Amino acid sequence: MTKTKTVAAKKTTKKAPAKKVVAKKAPAKKVVAKKAPQKIANNKSKIAAYKSKKNEKYMSDAMKRHFVAVLLLWKEHLLDEMQKTFDHLKTKGETYADPVDRASQEEEFAFELRTRDRERKLISKIAVSLEKIKQDDYGWCDSCGDEIGIKRLEARPTATHCIDCKTLDEIKEKQLNG
C-alpha cells in the first residue's frame, strides 16, 4: 500500500525539474553567436603548421618566411571576402519594396558592413605584422618582450602579445567594463 503511494508521489514531483534542463539550454546559444568573428581567423591558412628543427632558434629565417606566407595568404583570403561582401551589397541594394523584407535586408547589410569593418582591421593588423617581420621584431611580446611562441602565432599570426600579457589585459578590460 505505501509503495504505490510513494511511486505516485515521485511521478508528479519528477516532472518539475525536467523543465529546468530545457531552460538551461538557452545560454548555449550565446557561445555560438560569439564564434562569428573567429570564422575569419580560422580560415586564414591552408599552410601546414611550421615544424621547428632541432635546436632551431626562435624566429629563424625559415620561420619568418613561413609566417610571411601565412600572413600573405590570409590577407588574400580577406581581400577576397571583402570583395564578395562588396559585390553582394552592390547587387542586392534596393531590391525590396516590402518593408519587412527591407528591414531584414538592412539587418543583413549592417551585419555585412560590420564583417567588412572587422576584415579591414585584420588586414591592417596583417600589414603591421609583415612590417614587424621585416624589422626583425615579429613574434615578441609588445608588453614584456618574451617570445609569443610558435603555437600561439600559428593560431593568431597577428598576435602582438604573449598569452600571459593578453590574459592579463583581458582581465583588466573585464574589470573596467564591470
Comparison of 45 and 129: residue with beta carbon closer to Zn ion:
129
Comparison of 45 and 160: residue with beta carbon closer to Zn ion:
160
**CB of 142 vs Zn ion, minimal distance in Å:** 8
Q: Which residues have CB under 8 Å from 131's CB, separation 6+?
A: none
Q: Name which position in 126, 130, 141, 153 contacts Zn ion (CB under 5 A).
A: 141
For Zn ion, the binding residues in 7-36 under the rule CB under 5 A are none
Comparison of 110 and 128: residue with beta carbon closer to Zn ion:
128
Between CA 163 and CA 145, with CA 60 as vertex, the angle to 5 degrees is 35
**CB of 50 vs Zn ion, minimal distance in Å:** 21
Cell 619568418 belongs to residue: 64
Contact 140, 146 (CB under 8 A): yes
**CB of 117 vs Zn ion, minimal distance in Å:** 28
Element (H, E) at 109: helix 99-134
**CB of 103 vs Zn ion, minimal distance in Å:** 46
DSSP assignment string, 66-90: HHHHHHHHHHHHHHHHHHHHHHHHH
For Zn ion, the binding residues in 143-162 under the rule CB under 5 A are 143-144, 146, 162
**CB of 145 vs Zn ion, minimal distance in Å:** 7
Q: Which of 108, 91, 89 is nearest to 100 (CA)?
A: 108
Interface with Zn ion (CB under 5 A), residue total 6
Comparison of 87 and 146: residue with beta carbon closer to Zn ion:
146
Residue 35 phi/psi, 5-degree rounding, is -70, -20
**CB of 65 vs Zn ion, minimal distance in Å:** 24
Sequence-distant contacts of 13-16: CB under 8 A, at least 24 apart: none
Element (H, E) at 154: helix 150-155
Q: Which stretch binds Zn ion (CB under 5 A): 3-11, 77-85, 87-95, 165-173?
A: 165-173
Q: Which stretch binds Zn ion (CB under 5 A): 50-58, 106-114, 132-140, 164-172?
A: 164-172
Chain positions contacting Zn ion, by CB under 5 A: 141, 143-144, 146, 162, 165
